Amino acid sequence: MVKVTNRSKTKKKADRANYKAEIKALKYGIINNVMFVMKELFKFDKLMFLCIFLFAFGYYFDNLLSVYINKYVVELAAAGFGDKRLILICLGILVGISVSAFIAESAGNYKEFIGFRKFNDHLCGKIMKKTLTTDYENCESSDKADKLNKAVNALSVAAINTPINVRGSIRHILEFFTYSAILSVLDIRLVPVIVIPAALGYFCERHKMLWVWNMSDLWQKSERRISYIDKISGDFQNAKDTRIYNMQSWFNKAWKRSADERLKWYTEQDAWEFRHNIFGSIVAFIGDLAAYIYVIYLVMSGNIGAGDFVLYFNSIMRLSTAVKDWLNNFSGYQWISNNVNYIREYLEMPDKTNHGEGEKIPAGKCEIEFKNVSYKYSGAENFTIKNLSFTLHKGEKLALVGLNGAGKTTIVKLMCGLYDPTEGEIFLNGINVKNFNREEYFKLFSAVFQDIFPIAASISENVAGSLEINEKKLFDCMKKAGIYDKINSLSEKENTKLVRGIYEDSIELSGGETQKLALAKALYKNAPVLLLDEPTAALDPIAEQEMYMNYLDFSKERTCVFISHRLASTRFCDKIMLIENGAIAEFGTHSELMLKGGKYAELFNIQSSYYSDENVNKEADCL
């Protein structure tokens, strides 16, 4: 049973204070944000931009002419349908209503069925582009993940509510002045009688919406947890563990815990909105009722005719609705503005690395130097890497070894530019890597990391990526990686689709086959620096030995870094660097480190003992 605690008055007061501080800290105001969206819309889809105005004016004239047709139909009926002038006026108004309704409906249909979707996808594409190009460190930060979640949730508000609010504001402004002018002819006092209660209703609505927005940060964490649970519970890669370890119970409890927490906010929000809606409706009704009573009195006393009574009666209703809707638009603009701020805050999220002009990337072999490099993960108390200095010479093969958590993968990510040093500097051929455009710098590296996720595309596309596919090169890389025979045995060969659940005719590769495919992808890129992080972890001994035999071949003319826990593989490398607690514990060739008799020699001998004749005989005896 999940217990959801209520917030105290002190907590509520603190939340409101935090909200006010958040609003004050927002970079852009309402007008600036609305203009941002409208300018973005105009650049992207001018027809949809035009439809906003066509819909507003079409809807306005449709309602206005509907008010007048009622007046003239009543007058025509009173005249016995013999007044030709009234007949022509009615026919003309009916034609105007049809044209206005057609314009409003056509413009609305384009916006609803095409425009909104296109514009939402356009803004989604901008967020996706930012996500794919921003510094990798931003992708690992929970704070940045919250910003992304807020930006994604704000998409529909920016893409749909902004155009709707703008077109509504145009229509309601026109209606306000039009129906105010009509009622002023009868009695100008009617205008404030209708407008003031409607305005009070607006402030009530605004108070309601400010509270709802104030709570958004509090339920955002619950939304993120629910989204995470939905994602991983539906991920086929987790299906095996889910069943073997009976994770269904955990998923159910975790989802219910977050859902109950979210439901608490829905419940509190509904109660808050209900009270405000009741109060606003009563206030607005009082003003409308007073105006209706006055008009009824005038017609009963003979001061106005039946046709004018219908005109003024409908004008009261239209003016009241226009004022309430117009002011509700203003209340909605704060909501829209805050959401647009979320999108702009994410799109403008700063990067530490250089994504602009930079030094020219050197051609040929690369030399990489770490000079007093330290790195601390966001939110961590201690450095993962501390004061690291070494040089990876041109064409050199370097092996990084050490226990889990020593910092080996962090060094690789620093080297290839995924991370930026917290302290110290990294140089490429004597030039600080910060001086290079980061996207251009990435082109120097081919990498195989521990976590490999094939994309839902053909095998050839997984290997070649977005590059033009060279079949000869593709097959050569697959052979070097040891995956060619497997691919060639498939009915569709290299055109076979990967990732089940996306394509009906797709396949799933084994862990070892996926690792070989990743190696083929790294070789296909043919970058001057090759980074291999545990490239044989999922391979069987025969495939591992085959990969080692090919290693010298595919690493020719390249600078290489090789991470492995299997120390037998380090003999293929020129130098070995033992990392311990984020620092270099030992450095040298395999022979030098074995003669030294230090930590490396100890680890190597421990591993070698598992394959000694004595241990093999003991295992045989056990069998």
Q: Are residues 403 and 279 in the same domain?
A: no
**What's the rounded mean pLDDT across residues 135-149?**
79
Which helix H or strand E contains 119, and what residues bound it? helix 116-133
Specify whether the CB–CB gap between 137 and 352 falls below 8 A. Answer: yes
Answer whether residue 217 is part of any domain.
yes
Answer whether residue 497 is part of any domain.
no
| Residue 53 banded pLDDT, cuts 50, 70, 90 | very high
Closest CA to 476 of 429, 417, 520, 444: 520
Q: Are residues 259 and 209 in the same domain?
A: yes
Q: Are residues 308 and 437 in the same domain?
A: no
Answer whether residue 196 is part of any domain.
yes
Domain boundary among 300, 319, 347: 347
**What's the rounded mean pLDDT across residues 9-15?**
68
Condensed to tens digits (0 to 9), the pLDDT of residues 394-449 reads: 888 898 988 888 888 899 999 988 899 999 999 999 899 999 998 889 889 888 88
pLDDT exceeds cutoff 50 at 619: no
Residue 83 is predicted with a pLDDT of 75
Please identify which residue in the block is written with the tokens 């509270």.
211
CATH number at residue 255: 1.20.1560.10
Enclosing domain of residue 605: 364-444+556-618
Q: Are residues 289 and 161 in the same domain?
A: yes
Q: Are residues 304 and 335 in the same domain?
A: yes
Q: Are residues 343 and 398 in the same domain?
A: no
**Its pTM surpasses 0.85:** no
Overall number of domains in the chain: 2
Specify whether the CB–CB gap between 512 and 543 falls below 8 A. Answer: yes
Q: Is 43 exposed, middle or buried (0-12, 13-18, 19+ CB in 10 A)?
A: exposed
How high does pLDDT run on average in the chain?
Answer: 80
For 588, other C-beta atoms within 10 Å of its C-beta total 16
Amino acid letter for position 568: A
Answer whether residue 407 is part of any domain.
yes
Condensed to tens digits (0 to 9), the pLDDT of residues 317-342 reads: 788 788 878 877 777 788 888 889 98
Q: Are residues 131 and 92 in the same domain?
A: yes
For 556, other C-beta atoms within 10 Å of its C-beta total 9
pLDDT exceeds cutoff 90 at 298: no
pLDDT exceeds cutoff 60 at 113: yes
Which helix H or strand E contains 138, and what residues bound it? helix 136-140
Q: Are residues 163 and 304 in the same domain?
A: yes
CATH number at residue 572: 3.40.50.300
Residue 454 is predicted with a pLDDT of 81
